[in-house]
Amino acid sequence: MAQVNRVYSVTAGRVAGSYLVKANITDFEGETYDCDYMSYANDTNGLNPAIRQWLADNPDFPSQPYVPPSAPTEEELRAQMPTLSSRQFWLAALEIGITKTIVQNKIKTLGLAPLEEARWSTELDEAKTFERTSQFLAELTGLFNIPPNELDVLWTWASKL
Protein backbone atom coordinates (compact mmCIF):
# COMPACT_ATOMS: atom_id res chain seq x y z
CA MET A 1 0.00 0.00 0.00
CA ALA A 2 1.27 3.48 -0.89
CA GLN A 3 2.04 5.81 1.97
CA VAL A 4 2.89 9.45 2.51
CA ASN A 5 6.12 9.76 4.50
CA ARG A 6 6.50 13.52 4.55
CA VAL A 7 4.76 16.49 2.94
CA TYR A 8 6.88 19.48 1.95
CA SER A 9 4.18 21.76 0.56
CA VAL A 10 0.54 21.92 -0.43
CA THR A 11 -0.70 24.34 -3.09
CA ALA A 12 -4.31 24.74 -4.18
CA GLY A 13 -4.96 23.71 -7.77
CA ARG A 14 -6.94 25.41 -10.51
CA VAL A 15 -9.86 23.00 -9.99
CA ALA A 16 -11.76 23.56 -6.74
CA GLY A 17 -10.71 21.01 -4.12
CA SER A 18 -7.54 20.01 -5.95
CA TYR A 19 -4.03 20.32 -4.53
CA LEU A 20 -0.49 20.01 -5.77
CA VAL A 21 1.28 18.10 -2.99
CA LYS A 22 5.07 17.93 -2.90
CA ALA A 23 5.87 14.92 -0.76
CA ASN A 24 8.10 12.00 0.02
CA ILE A 25 6.16 8.79 -0.59
CA THR A 26 6.56 5.05 -0.65
CA ASP A 27 4.77 3.64 -3.68
CA PHE A 28 2.96 0.32 -4.17
CA GLU A 29 6.22 -1.40 -5.13
CA GLY A 30 8.01 -0.26 -1.97
CA GLU A 31 10.10 2.44 -3.68
CA THR A 32 10.58 5.65 -1.67
CA TYR A 33 11.10 9.00 -3.39
CA ASP A 34 10.07 12.65 -3.58
CA CYS A 35 7.31 13.54 -5.99
CA ASP A 36 4.81 16.18 -7.02
CA TYR A 37 1.30 14.75 -6.89
CA MET A 38 -1.86 16.45 -8.19
CA SER A 39 -4.66 15.34 -5.90
CA TYR A 40 -8.34 15.65 -6.84
CA ALA A 41 -11.21 15.37 -4.35
CA ASN A 42 -13.06 12.34 -5.75
CA ASP A 43 -10.09 10.37 -7.09
CA THR A 44 -9.92 6.95 -5.42
CA ASN A 45 -6.97 5.66 -7.46
CA GLY A 46 -3.27 5.24 -6.83
CA LEU A 47 -1.68 7.42 -4.19
CA ASN A 48 -4.64 9.81 -3.93
CA PRO A 49 -6.45 8.09 -1.01
CA ALA A 50 -3.24 8.25 1.07
CA ILE A 51 -2.72 11.92 0.12
CA ARG A 52 -6.34 12.75 0.98
CA GLN A 53 -6.06 10.97 4.30
CA TRP A 54 -2.89 12.91 5.10
CA LEU A 55 -4.65 16.19 4.22
CA ALA A 56 -7.61 15.25 6.45
CA ASP A 57 -5.28 14.30 9.32
CA ASN A 58 -3.31 17.56 9.01
CA PRO A 59 -5.88 20.35 8.52
CA ASP A 60 -3.53 23.00 9.94
CA PHE A 61 -0.74 22.32 7.44
CA PRO A 62 -0.22 25.57 5.50
CA SER A 63 -1.67 25.54 2.00
CA GLN A 64 -0.60 28.04 -0.63
CA PRO A 65 -3.28 29.60 -2.84
CA TYR A 66 -3.56 28.84 -6.53
CA VAL A 67 -1.72 31.40 -8.66
CA PRO A 68 -2.59 31.24 -12.35
CA PRO A 69 0.39 31.13 -14.70
CA SER A 70 1.36 34.48 -16.14
CA ALA A 71 0.49 35.20 -19.74
CA PRO A 72 3.35 34.47 -22.13
CA THR A 73 5.34 37.44 -23.40
CA GLU A 74 5.29 38.43 -27.06
CA GLU A 75 8.74 36.89 -27.48
CA GLU A 76 7.61 33.62 -25.87
CA LEU A 77 4.62 33.52 -28.22
CA ARG A 78 6.87 34.18 -31.21
CA ALA A 79 9.20 31.38 -30.14
CA GLN A 80 6.21 29.02 -30.26
CA MET A 81 5.26 30.02 -33.81
CA PRO A 82 5.79 27.29 -36.38
CA THR A 83 8.70 27.24 -38.78
CA LEU A 84 7.74 28.39 -42.27
CA SER A 85 8.92 26.64 -45.39
CA SER A 86 10.64 28.83 -47.96
CA ARG A 87 7.49 28.61 -50.07
CA GLN A 88 5.25 29.80 -47.20
CA PHE A 89 7.67 32.60 -46.33
CA TRP A 90 7.87 34.00 -49.86
CA LEU A 91 4.12 33.71 -50.46
CA ALA A 92 3.63 35.73 -47.28
CA ALA A 93 6.17 38.30 -48.47
CA LEU A 94 4.27 38.62 -51.75
CA GLU A 95 1.15 39.52 -49.76
CA ILE A 96 2.89 42.73 -48.67
CA GLY A 97 4.53 43.39 -52.03
CA ILE A 98 8.00 42.03 -51.28
CA THR A 99 9.72 39.61 -53.63
CA LYS A 100 13.04 37.85 -53.31
CA THR A 101 14.42 40.11 -56.05
CA ILE A 102 13.38 43.23 -54.12
CA VAL A 103 15.18 41.90 -51.03
CA GLN A 104 18.29 40.97 -53.03
CA ASN A 105 18.42 44.46 -54.54
CA LYS A 106 17.93 46.06 -51.12
CA ILE A 107 20.87 44.05 -49.74
CA LYS A 108 23.09 45.32 -52.58
CA THR A 109 22.27 48.95 -51.68
CA LEU A 110 23.29 48.61 -48.02
CA GLY A 111 26.98 49.13 -48.69
CA LEU A 112 27.95 46.07 -46.69
CA ALA A 113 31.42 44.59 -46.63
CA PRO A 114 31.69 41.75 -49.18
CA LEU A 115 31.60 38.98 -46.56
CA GLU A 116 28.61 40.52 -44.79
CA GLU A 117 26.74 40.91 -48.08
CA ALA A 118 27.55 37.27 -48.86
CA ARG A 119 26.16 36.26 -45.45
CA TRP A 120 22.92 38.10 -46.12
CA SER A 121 22.62 36.60 -49.59
CA THR A 122 23.29 33.10 -48.28
CA GLU A 123 20.72 33.50 -45.50
CA LEU A 124 18.22 34.65 -48.10
CA ASP A 125 18.91 32.30 -51.00
CA GLU A 126 19.83 29.06 -49.24
CA ALA A 127 17.18 28.96 -46.53
CA LYS A 128 14.83 25.99 -46.73
CA THR A 129 12.90 27.18 -43.67
CA PHE A 130 12.45 30.38 -41.69
CA GLU A 131 12.17 30.73 -37.91
CA ARG A 132 10.07 33.59 -36.54
CA THR A 133 12.72 34.50 -33.95
CA SER A 134 15.81 34.32 -36.16
CA GLN A 135 18.24 37.24 -36.07
CA PHE A 136 18.27 37.35 -39.88
CA LEU A 137 14.51 37.81 -39.96
CA ALA A 138 14.71 40.61 -37.38
CA GLU A 139 17.31 42.38 -39.52
CA LEU A 140 15.34 41.80 -42.71
CA THR A 141 12.05 43.09 -41.33
CA GLY A 142 13.91 46.11 -39.97
CA LEU A 143 15.09 46.95 -43.50
CA PHE A 144 11.49 47.03 -44.68
CA ASN A 145 10.04 48.68 -41.54
CA ILE A 146 7.68 45.78 -40.85
CA PRO A 147 6.40 46.03 -37.26
CA PRO A 148 6.73 42.79 -35.25
CA ASN A 149 2.99 42.55 -34.53
CA GLU A 150 2.18 42.85 -38.25
CA LEU A 151 4.72 40.16 -39.04
CA ASP A 152 3.10 37.96 -36.36
CA VAL A 153 -0.26 38.19 -38.15
CA LEU A 154 1.33 37.50 -41.53
CA TRP A 155 3.35 34.60 -40.08
CA THR A 156 0.25 33.00 -38.59
CA TRP A 157 -1.56 33.33 -41.91
CA ALA A 158 1.40 31.88 -43.84
CA SER A 159 1.69 28.91 -41.48
CA LYS A 160 -1.66 27.68 -42.81
CA LEU A 161 -0.62 27.71 -46.48
The per-residue pLDDT for 103 is 95
- Residue 32 maps to a domain: yes
Q: Is the same domain home to 56 and 89?
A: no
Q: Is the same domain home to 150 and 95?
A: yes
The per-residue pLDDT for 3 is 92
- Residue 12 maps to a domain: yes
Q: Quote the number of domains for the chain.
A: 2
Query: Residues with Cβ < 8 Å from 106, sequence gap 6 or more?
Result: 143, 144
- Residue 69 maps to a domain: no
Contact 92, 155 (CB under 8 A): yes
pLDDT digits (tens, 9 = 90+) for 97-108: 999 999 999 999
Q: Is the same domain home to 20 and 60?
A: yes
- Residue 41 maps to a domain: yes
Q: Is the same domain home to 60 and 84?
A: no
- Domain residues for the domain of 97 are 74-158
The mean of the pLDDT values for the chain is: 95
Averages of pLDDT over each 10 residues, the chain, 161 residues:
94 96 94 96 93 96 95 95 97 96 93 93 93 94 94 97 93
Q: What is the pTM of this model?
A: 0.62
The per-residue pLDDT for 142 is 93
- Residue 138 maps to a domain: yes
pLDDT digits (tens, 9 = 90+) for 14-36: 999 999 999 999 998 999 999 99
Q: Is the same domain home to 33 and 95?
A: no
